[in-house]
Structure 1
Amino acid sequence: MQSKLPIDDVLDHLCDALKAHGRAVLVAPPGAGKTTRVPLALLEQISGRIVMLEPRRLAARAAAERLAAQLGEQVGQRVGYRMRGEAVAGSRIEVVTEGILTRMVQSDPELAGIGCVIFDEFHERSMNADLGLALVWESRGALRDDLAVVVMSATLDAEPVAELLDGAPVIRSQGRAFPVETRWLARPLAASSRLIDEAARLIDTAVRETVETGGTVLAFLPGEGEIRRVGALLAGGDCEVLPLFGALDSKDQRKALSEPGSRRRIVLATSIAETSLTIPQVRVVVDCGRARRARFDPGSGMSRLVTERVSRAEADQRRGRAGRVAPGICYRLWARAEEGAFPAFAPAEITVADLAPLALELAAWGAQPSELAFLTAPPDAALSEAKGLLEQLGALDKAGRITLHGKRLAGLPLHPRLGHMLSVAGPQAADLAALLGDRDFLRGAPSDIGLRLSALRDPRGFARQRPYDIHQPTLQRIRDEARRLHRLADNLGGAADRVVVARSSGEMIALAYPDRVGLRRKGDQPRFVLSGGKGAMLPAEDLLANQRLIVAPDLTGDQREARVRRAAPIDEAGLRDLFPEQITTVRFCEWSRRDGKVIARKQERFGVLPLSDQVWKDAPQDLVAAAAFEGLRQDGLPWTAAAARLRARIALVDGDDSVSDETLLADGTWLVPWLGQARSLTDLRGLNLVEPLLQRLGWDGQQRLAAAVPAHFETPLGRKVPIDYGHETPSIQLRLQELFGVTRHPVVAGRPLRITLLSPGGKPVQVTADLPGFWASSYGEVRKEMRGRYPRHPWPEDPTGADPTTRAKPRGT
């Protein structure tokens, strides 16, 4: 080993803990040297190979090279590394990326020949690291109690991890080798500030203010786009400006990690440079305070990249990079007062990521999340969404058990969607799988994936014919991956006996994304409804804007209407050929609020997409009536005067709640039989509710109602006058002369009727609840007035002795 590092002081304690307990949690700040010291310290103690897990490919390769260098060897002797598409064997130490470890445990749960598994940078809380630890820990408990497990982290709340590992010892390394001065902005940036401009300005300030300090300036930016734009603003100065991000060509990555020359160097990096990578001579850090993370929305089934504030733990890691070789300075693109609003830690990936790969691994392992040692359990909603997708792909059966096809997909180094496409379509899908598994290399181009395939297969010819900007490093990486997937598809189990049907690009993509088949909506704007139920849109000038059916594997994660970034056309015949069992015939009757009528349709559907749509002419009357009742729920019950009087009578006997609109509309069985012919709002508003309400009461209820609150008052002439029960007192209206001879006031339900006495012309002349009292008092005054106004009608002096009438006197009398 070379110069002393802080981690060296605790290596003996770590070795002792592993001897005694077989497990340990090691917390060491950035720059302590845990990645390049710990595996070497365990070489003599551990029998068998040491596997160290790194979250990123670049970090895995760099760690292996530094470990080998400290042993005075080349990678490939005692130290090797393995990642997707690249491997160099090592006899004692193997640095692997996270997906590789999962495959190792799934294929050999005993982990034969392995003596220790080290989880480096566990604080990043990647989903594969969480899964890998859960699987390794179960293997250790069930099959390998001699297997040593070390969890290492730069900034981590160690106690929960130690508790997860049955009280593992916690070993802590002391702080950084050198102090770091922190400089904040004097005040928060204005809301109108542009991150690119402010970042370039702060980096330039850091360079000018640290001329005497010297050393490399390491600046943290959210992603490749920001790195390239800031790099363009800084180009032409005295410093060498180098980018560093995961998708960068390996040659350019090595250049950023190499020793600087005579010119001062600025390295513009993503969060990839926060911890395990060694960037030489860093003395100054500029932290722009942003990180780009993938967020998965189980409601839309889509992941999207979001730019967020870093956590306090991430900011602390970045700051630490300035103090690894000498005292350093950290410039922060925020005011000190803002830090209180920063989250303590970044969210665990398992809580925000697409869980389809995790759900498939758990099914292959044969366990539920609750049965494994997860530091953070996967969210139920996202996991349920993932299982639904896997069932759609045929990887799980209806009971959630893994199928033979699912086992094949679990063994492929691809997302289950792409693995399914490659497994079913064979080598012809390799180019598409490589394209869809990486970022888009064709900038500013329309959405058509066919353009990308053309560029992938003939880059030079495409460049001559098309004006689009091609991101060459990404294109080359996709071409390499496509060749690897061609070989993989050729060697898939059972491939020799499998009949592979030639498929269009759209058909192959639909195999992977059955929930992203889009049907164009009616209208001028190119808007689509996706088979999974969400909406999507294209610009009007896009090449696919007028296609009836598309498949859109790459969309923004907009909650309301996603924007299609990459897509391919698909014809209905191909869709029907791919998914004959998933295309179902649906008949439905429903109320259309927009049209104000019952809609009865017969459709063939793929997901929610109506591939065909016809009028259901012979829809059963009970379904039509049920749909019409839904129209009443939306529009309200049509209360005529007669129906309102009946409701008031029922309310007096059974209570107001028994005939409230809420009660009557909660259960439509009383009214649906009367709605067989009602199909429009006009029909519903003309409905007479009297008979349905009476039938709702039944025979006994009607008799009880008639006895308690009669519907009519019978006049002395035998005429039935409706009683209005809509007021506090039951009321009637009738002509005064019709009550001549009545000496007792009418009573209903034990209460006197409120009588509005009308003139022969139908105008109210008196309201009374005491008819005998009216005859004896007020009648005289009414008689005087009415005799002059209505001389042809009788106005006897003694109304109690007169005969009731509704007639006028004969002319001439």
Structure 2
Amino acid sequence: MNIPASPFDLDAIGAGLPVTGALPEIAEALEAHHRAVVEAPPGTGKTTLVPPLVADLLARRAGDADAEAADTAAAGTGTAPLKTIVTAPRRVAVRAAARRLHHLSGNARAVGHRVRGDSQAGSAVEFVTPAVLVRMLLSDPELPEVGAVVIDEVHERELDTDLALAFSAELAALREDLDLVVMSATLDTTRFSELLGEAPVVSTPAVTHPLETSYHPHPGRMAADRRSRDAFWAHLAALADAAVEKSGHSALVFVPGAREVEQTVAACRTRALPLHGRLERAAQDAALDGTGPARVVVSTAVAESSVTVPGVRTVVDSGLSRVPRRDSGRGMSGLVTVSEARSTAEQRAGRAGREGPGTVLRAFTSDDLRHFDAHVTPEIDTADLTQAALWMACWGTPRGEGLALVSEPQPAAIAAAEETLRALHAVDAEGRPTELGRRLADLPLDPRLGRALLTAGPSAAEVLAALSDGASGDLGRASAPSREVARLRAVGARGAGGAAADAGDTAHRKKGGDRRGATSASDGVAVGLAFPERIARREGGGEYLLASGTRAVLPGDTGLSGAEWLAVGEVTRSGTPGRAGRAGATIRSAARIDEADALEIIGVTEELRADFADGKLRGRAVRRAGAIELAVTPTTVPPERAAEAVAAAVREEGTGMFRLGEKAAALRDRLAFLHERVGEPWPDPETAEPEVWLAPEIQKAARGTPPGKIDLFDALQRLLPWPEATRMDELAPQRLEVPSGSHPRVDYSTGRPVVRVKLQECFGLAESPRCAGVPVQFRLLSPAGRDLAVTDDLESFWSGPYAQVRAEMRGRYPKHPWPEDPWSATATARTKKRM
């Protein structure tokens, strides 16, 4: 019998790591429940030590299985232990974690990693990005060669991590032998424990060295102009330079993105190294190499929690984060720079106290910090969900319905993502994946880029690589990392073979061939296939209208000025400050595209538009590509469309276009009052569906009768609810009897019942009557009909203010009664003589 040996020496690997003390509790939880939630702050060693612990447990189980099978025919063959898959949220973190465990274990074959464009097999532990794990699950939902899944840094709430966790939790519910571990630096343990079926929670206390924190604000931190921003990056570099010179230790600078990393590195006097996800592997490894003299490492969020940068005793924090945001109004999405969360600020600061007492230099004020959001906003609430929606559809849970997610996607965002996937022919009308959709889900890139690559072929690799790399200006002339170009060419060659035909894009296959012979126009085809809603036509000057309906300006330095049609790669919110026009966005990158190709990609439709405005009906035949109108021709409007146009005008503008006579106005006001005070079933005339109660009037207007000649009284009567309408005079009477015997009209136009009546007609009336529970407001008038008092408390009026009114009015109107005692006086509308 060949019992597998433990692949790792946990004592050697965990020497000095605080999480070592929690290993027995983690092992006990996995042995008993196959689930565990590990809460361990940065620097405790969870990413380094928990995966080999889990791998050892799997090896031990494999040995136990061999022992139990000793008397069977399979005895002596040995049972290979299953792999442990560990996710880290970024490629840099994946490679760094794998390299560290490989170094500490000394086992070259046991540890591997898999990220986009780079992989090395490991027999026991493989570190992967969450997206790689998702694709593994979609390819084979049972993961037969995997015995455990460890999902790290779940507190960052990245969208891919949320989905990897949800899919893995469903698999774990079906496979009782699968271990599932969730790890985080800061964690809502209750919520994650619930998602894992009340999994045990194991906590490790933080072990950090003291930190000295100071604030060094700079006016360029949130500035809009480039010069001020450049000065801010230089400010960060100066802080880091001074800290290294003073302490002799390395400094870690946090900035929001790769471009800012390079600018800050360039501004440093000390040896400075960049660290971000776009770098080649060798450059990333150089930044993480702690040997040699003190240096400045300038990093994006990759170094916040999942990557350890050795030798650091100072953190310089810009206070800025780059996060995904989706503009649902304009149908745009992208990365925006915002102030970091307070939890992020604490995580960044903790990096200075990993190896000894540290210093934290914050490039903002303590008051700024108090106004930062407390926690990071989950990506599922802000990001474009197209990729996630495709994965969920392929998992069998379209729109995430029935999927145990940490938080549910916003309905509007998931609907927009599904609409995009339908336009790509990736899902059907019910949200189920098509054959093309399954191919796109398997590709290691965004579905839109995947569709473009499969359709246009490997020749589109260079422009798509430039697009995915964030190139600006003319994408037809932009350069891209050669490694990424080669990767996309390989993906395109591997994924081709029927996908374009599935997408209905056969006509565009002719645009393939040698990339060196491609024109800007064919680059535009590739970009347009990826983002058909962003194909744009010039509207005049530098303003363009996108097929989605968004208006955008094209800056003059893009090299694309004058192009009639563009396939836009990136568009951001807000136009050029001070520019005239209606544009609400700016084109950052695009490629020229021929009109014929643009129209073929978008698709051309013809529709009849009928508008009713200013009492007139207007019909237009509109030929359009998305929101771009290609031609408009006046035309007659069929009767049914005319009625629809009038109804639409009523919904938008209200009933003001029709005549409202005195009777109709009074009935409308009574209905509105009862709707407000009583509610159902009394309707509001302004919100009721016009086709229901205005059908005859709408038909008259559609046949040519001017709306101003159509009275609404009959329509309002149709709106009355029956049998409740029989109580209308009881709840909201048209007239109200007063002590004089007269019946003045009740006015409901102000939203409450109001009666205008001469003061003498109300002598002896102590309590105001009520309509639908609302006391009537009396406007008590002089003999000439002018207001003397306004009250809904007659008893208080007679007992107080009346005496002053009497004193002022008796001399002015001596022919009318002004008794000292209004309680016992006869109510009348007549003069004293006539009485």
Q: Is the 8 A contact 2:271 2:296 kept in 1?
A: yes
Find the counterpart in structure 1 of residue 529 from structure 2: 511
Q: Which residue of 2 aligns with 1:602?
A: 621
Report the Cα distance in structure 1 between the residues aligned to 2:340 and 2:151, rounded to whole angstroms: 23
Query: More deviation in 208-217 or 33-42?
Result: 208-217
Could you tell me which residue of structure 1 aligns to residue 21 of structure 2?
A: 9
Match of 1:56 among 67, 77, 90: 90
* Residue among 63, 78, 100 paired with 2:110: 78
Does structure 2 retain, via aligned residues, the 8 Å contact 1:418–1:433?
Answer: yes
Shift of 1:615: 1.8
- Name the SS of the counterpart of 1:371 in structure 2: coil
Decide which moves more: 319-328 or 40-49. Answer: 40-49
Rounded Cα–Cα distance in structure 2 between residues aligned with 1:694 and 1:376 = 51
So what's the TM-score if we normalise by structure 2? 0.70
The answer (yes or no) to whether the contact 2:275–2:299 under 8 Å persists in 1 is yes
Determine the C-alpha separation between the residues in 1 that align with 2:246 and 2:627: 66
Give the 3-state SS of the residue equivalent to 1:25 in structure 2. Answer: strand
Counterpart residue identity of residue 450, structure 2: G
1:192 Cα offset (Å): 7.0
C-alpha deviation, 1:340, in angstroms:
2.8
**Post-superposition offset of 1:431:** 2.9
Matched residues, number: 650
Q: Give runs of aligned pairs for residues 700-711 of structure 1, distance below 5 A.
A: none
C-alpha separation between the residues in 1 aligned to 2:259 and 2:28?
47
Closer/same/farther in 2, CA of residues 611 and 79 from structure 1, 3 Å limit: same
**What does residue range 17-96 of structure 1 map to in structure 2 within 5 Å?**
17-46=29-58, 47-74=81-108, 77-96=109-128
Residue 219 of structure 1 aligns with an amino acid whose one-letter code is V
Q: What's 2:381 paired with?
A: 351
- Whole-angstrom CA distance in 2 between matches of 1:638 and 1:401: 46
CA distance in 2, matches of 1:274, 1:479: 29
Instruction: Provide closer, same or farther for how the CA distance between residues 614 and 234 of structure 1 changes in structure 2, counting only shifts above 3 A.
Output: same
In 2: Cα distance, 1:209 partner to 1:505 partner: 48
Correspondence for 1:569 = 592
Deviation track 1:434-468 (CA, whole Å, cap 9, x = no partner) reads 2332211x5xxxx432222xxx4xxxxxxxxxxxx
Is the contact made by 1:360 and 1:410 (CA closer than 8 Å) also made in structure 2? Answer: yes
For 1:64, give the aligned amino acid.
Answer: A
TM-score (norm 1): 0.72
**Which of 324, 346, 361 is the matching residue for 1:294?**
324
Q: Flag the 1:23–1:656 CA change in 2: closer, same or farther, 3 A.
A: closer
Q: Where does 1:712-751 land on structure 2 (aligned, <5 Å)?
A: none
Give the SS at the match of 2:55. coil
Note if 1:365 corresponds to 2:395. yes
Q: Which runs of 5+ in 1 are unaligned?
A: 457-473, 699-727, 730-813
User: What is residue 634 of structure 2 aligned with on the other side?
Assistant: 615
User: Is 2:391–2:441's contact at 8 Å kept on the other side of the alignment?
Assistant: yes
Q: Counterpart of 2:555 in 1: which secondary structure? A: coil
Q: Over residues 110-148 of structure 1, what are the superposed CA-to-partner deviations in whole Å (9 max), with x where a residue is unaligned?
A: 111211111112221111111111111111112x11111
The residue that corresponds to 1:449 in the other structure is: 475
> CA separation in 2, counterparts of 1:420 and 1:339?
43
| 2:282 partner letter | K
The verdict on how the C-alpha distance between 1:608 and 1:106 changes in structure 2, with shifts beyond 3 A counting, is same
Q: State the partner residue of 2:736.
A: none
- The 5 Å alignment of 1:256-267 reads 256-262=287-293, 264-267=294-297
The 3 A distance-change label for structure 1 pair 123 and 516 is same
Cα deviations by residue, 1:627-647 (Å, 9 ceiling, x for unpaired): 5787798699789xxx89xx3
Letter in 2 for 1:564: I
| Post-superposition offset of 1:578 | 4.2
Q: 1:501 aligns with which of 476, 484, 509?
A: 509
8 A contact 1:224–1:270 mirrored in 2: yes
Are the structure 2 counterparts of residues 119 and 649 from structure 1 closer, same or farther at C-alpha, using a change threshold of 3 Å?
closer
User: Could you tell me whether the CA contact under 8 Å between 1:218 and 1:269 is conserved in 2?
Assistant: yes
Deviation at 1:576, TM superposition (A): 4.5
Distance 1:658 1:584 in 2: 44
Distance 1:668 1:342, change over 3 A: same
Name the CA distance, whole Å, in 1 between partners of 2:537 and 2:222.
Answer: 40
Q: 1:276 aligns with which of 292, 299, 306?
A: 306
Q: Say if 1:493 and 1:397 are closer, same or farther in 2 by CA, change over 3 A.
A: closer
Matched residue SS, 1:378 = coil
Can you list the C-alpha shifts for 1:723-753, whole angstroms capped at 9, x where unaligned? xxxxx99xxxxxxxxxxxxxxxxxxxxxxxx
Partners of 2:330 and 2:384 in 1: CA distance: 11
| Change over 3 Å in CA distance of 1:349–1:697 after alignment to 2 | closer
The AA in structure 2 aligned to 1:602 is A
Aligned ranges for residues 328-407 of structure 1 at < 5 Å? 328-368=358-398, 369-407=400-438
After the TM superposition, which of the residue ranges 267-276 and 508-517 deviates more from structure 2? 508-517
Q: Which aligned pairs between 1:477-626 and structure 2 lie closer than 5 A?
A: 477-490=483-496, 501-503=509-511, 504-521=522-539, 524-539=540-555, 543-558=559-574, 561-578=584-601, 582-591=603-612, 598-616=617-635, 618-620=636-638, 623=641
Task: For residue 500 of structure 1, report the CA deviation from its aligned partner.
Answer: 6.3
Alignment of 1:195-344 (within 5 A): 196-198=230-232, 200-201=234-235, 204-205=238-239, 207-208=241-242, 211=245, 213-235=247-269, 239-262=270-293, 264-344=294-374
Pick from 472, 478, 481 the counterpart of residue 475 of structure 1.
481
Match of 1:169 among 200, 204, 208: 200
Distance 1:319 1:629, change over 3 A: closer
SS in 2 for 1:566: strand
Cα distance in 2 between the residues matched to 1:530 and 1:253 = 39
Rounded Cα–Cα distance in structure 1 between residues aligned with 2:188 and 2:497: 45
Partner of 1:422: 453
Shift of the alpha carbon at 1:382?
Answer: 0.5
User: Aligned with 1:565: secondary structure?
Assistant: strand
Report how far residue 189 of structure 1 moved: 9.1
* 1:128 aligned residue: 160
Work out which of the two has the higher radius of gyration on C-alpha atoms and give 1 or 2.
Answer: 1
Matched AA of 2:493: R
Counterpart code for 1:567: A
* Structure 2 segments unaligned to the other structure (5+ residues): 1-11, 59-80, 512-521, 576-582, 673-683, 719-755, 758-835
Distance 2:246 2:431 in 1: 64
In 2, the alpha carbon distance for the partners of 1:575 and 1:261 equals 55
- Cα contact 1:28–1:155 (8 A) shared by 2: yes
Residues 392/183 of structure 1: CA separation in 2 closer, same or farther (3 Å cut): same
Deviation at 1:90, TM superposition (A): 1.3
Counterpart residue type for residue 477 of structure 2: L
Contact preservation (8 Å) 2:233, 2:267:
no
Aligned mate of 1:436, from 421, 446, 467: 467
Q: Give the C-alpha shift of residue 195 in structure 1.
A: 5.6
Q: Measure the CA separation in 2 of the matches of 1:688 and 1:115.
A: 79
Measure, in 1, the Cα distance between the counterparts of 2:177 and 2:56. Answer: 16
Q: Secondary structure, in 3 states, of the residue corresponding to 1:45?
A: helix
Distance apart, 1:379 and its partner CA:
1.3
| Identical amino acids, percent of aligned pairs | 35
Q: Give the Cα–Cα distance (whole angstroms) in 2 for the partners of residues 549 and 202 of structure 1.
A: 42
Aligned partners of 1:222, 1:628: CA distance in 2, in Å?
52
Aligned CA distance change for structure 1 residues 677 and 190 (closer, same or farther; 3 Å): same
Q: 2:183 aligns with which of 148, 152, 160?
A: 152
Secondary structure of 2:177's partner?
A: coil
**Preserved CA contact (<8 Å) 1:11 1:38:** yes
Deviation of 1:78 (Å): 1.2
Query: In the superposition, relative to structure 1, how do residues 610 and 325 fare at CA in structure 2: closer, same or farther (>3 Å)?
Result: same
